[in-house]
Amino acid sequence: MAQEQSDHIGPSVDSFYIQFMKQNRFVLLILVASIFIGCRASKGAAEDKLTLDQVLKNPIFGKHFVGFGLYDPSLKKYLYTQNVDKYFTPASNTKILTLYSAMRILKDKISTFKYATRNDTIYIWGMGNPSFLNPWLPESHSELNYFKSINTVVSISNSHFMDDHFGDGWAWNDYKYAYQAEKSSLPIYGNMVAMTGEPFTKNFVMYPGFFNNFVDIDIDTTYDYGRMVRAPNENTFLYNYQLFDTIDNKREMPLLMGMDLLNNLIDDTIGIQLLPATVNIKDFEYVETLYSDTAIDSIYKRMMHISDNFIAEQLLLNCSAELFDTMNTSKVIDWIQDSLFKDIIDPFQWVDGSGLSRYNMFTPRSIIQLLSYIYALKPMAYIKDIFPGGGHSGTIESWYGSKEENPWIWAKTGSLRHNHCLSGYIQCDSGKILIFSFMHNHFISATSVVKNEMEKVLRLIRETN
């Protein structure tokens, strides 16, 4: 009886459930879909954590030797490592070592020469300053003003230059290219001559004009447009006497440096004759220093932005002259390794200032350690000025960004045939600064192919940190 009464007063549980499902199935569908999407999102988030692995292990990178390290200086820990303890050919990443060394040794100014007086003669010793009359750097007046102010005999000594004009491991047949200018104690005009040809004519100008009388005819007819090169063993410049095109109508050619040429150029430019001398700077009790007006940061900036090898080599020589009163690349590198770099985790195998030598070998984590030293020494605003900015300046103007977006990467490139490296700083979308070193050795594809894949990795890091 009670059961009958219960059936009579209301629907059963089953019928209520069926009615609820009919009335609310749209809500339930949304609920199920939300749960499904949430699961997919969780799965996607897990997959995103592997994305950096996947990008770094792509087929293009798989065909050559790759080292990569990503470091968070605020946490003092690595976020990702791949072959960071292996040695690579760094190419112009070597300039990062030169930059830090010069910042620590030279401080905020650079010397052009030291001088001392004995009887009626002033003796000078060049200090390796690359900015003296260098047309690619801001003008300095201190040297010209000094020479114009003296009215006595001036002698120049090269006795303290204990180095070779080329570095260890440099290519002997690259003497004619602007990226391999010779080293010297008192550089002048960047130790180069610049030729500019007037398009569709056979007219040209040399800078400095002193070299207009050093041009000869080149019998090589390989090129059907105007072209000029320096002869192997002398400062004679060979012109093939073809019409200059807009292609290759500007050329910078290294000079074969020597004391006679230096004296001739100073005489031609300033009107002062320097007499050769062999006196040693250490024989004088009182020696004074003449400093350049050129801001040293402008020298660093050109070295890092256009990867100027000449500046890099001369900065190391200037460091050597400041420390020892002698100029020797190996000696100053040994001193830097034992003092400034004594705590570097993997000792740098380091032979020159520029990275032209294939004898240089560094690990990614040692470069990152050095970049962290710079980060601790200088504010980020300074780093952003001295290092090239992706998509905006220097050797990465066409990579890792664009003019339409603010730069987010500041880094030094390093390229030799079959090798490319990039090391520097990333500013992530969160504002966090990360330090990285990305080193590629022994690829046979075009460098642009490797760079395209590198950019994918670096953009992913920027967007996910």
Q: What is the pLDDT of residues 347-359, one digit of tens each?
A: 999 999 999 999 9
User: What confidence score (pLDDT) does residue 23 get?
Assistant: 57
Question: What does DSSP say about strands 433-441 and 419-427: parallel, antiparallel, or unpaired?
Answer: antiparallel
**Pair 260, 230 in one domain:** yes
- The span from the CA of 179 to the CA of 170, in Å, is 11
Number of domains in the chain: 2
User: What confidence score (pLDDT) does residue 6 get?
Assistant: 37
**Pair 260, 315 in one domain:** no
Q: Give the CATH number, domain containing residue 74.
A: 3.40.710.10
**Pair 149, 270 in one domain:** yes
Please check the confidence at residue 53 and state whether its pLDDT lies above 90. no
Residue 28 lies in a domain: no
**Pair 366, 300 in one domain:** no
Residue 72 lies in a domain: yes
- The span from the CA of 357 to the CA of 420, in Å, is 14
**Pair 99, 125 in one domain:** no
Residue 115 lies in a domain: yes
Residue 5 lies in a domain: no
Residue 92 lies in a domain: yes
The Cα-based distances of 200 to 206, 245, 249, 251, 425 in angstroms read 17, 5, 10, 16, 45
**Pair 265, 172 in one domain:** yes
**Pair 298, 337 in one domain:** no
- The span from the CA of 251 to the CA of 267, in Å, is 25
Q: What value does the mean pLDDT take over residues 322-329?
A: 97
**Pair 272, 209 in one domain:** yes
| Whole-structure pTM value | 0.88
**Pair 114, 260 in one domain:** yes
Q: What value does the mean pLDDT take over residues 319-339?
A: 98
Using a pLDDT cut of 90, give the percent of the chain over it. Answer: 85
Q: What value does the mean pLDDT take over residues 376-396?
A: 98
**Pair 96, 130 in one domain:** no
The boundaries of the domain holding residue 347 are 58-103+311-321+328-464
**Pair 122, 214 in one domain:** yes
Please check the confidence at residue 42 and state whether its pLDDT lies above 80. no
Q: What value does the mean pLDDT take over residues 371-378?
A: 98
**Pair 149, 203 in one domain:** yes
pLDDT grade for 39, boundaries at 50, 70 and 90: very low
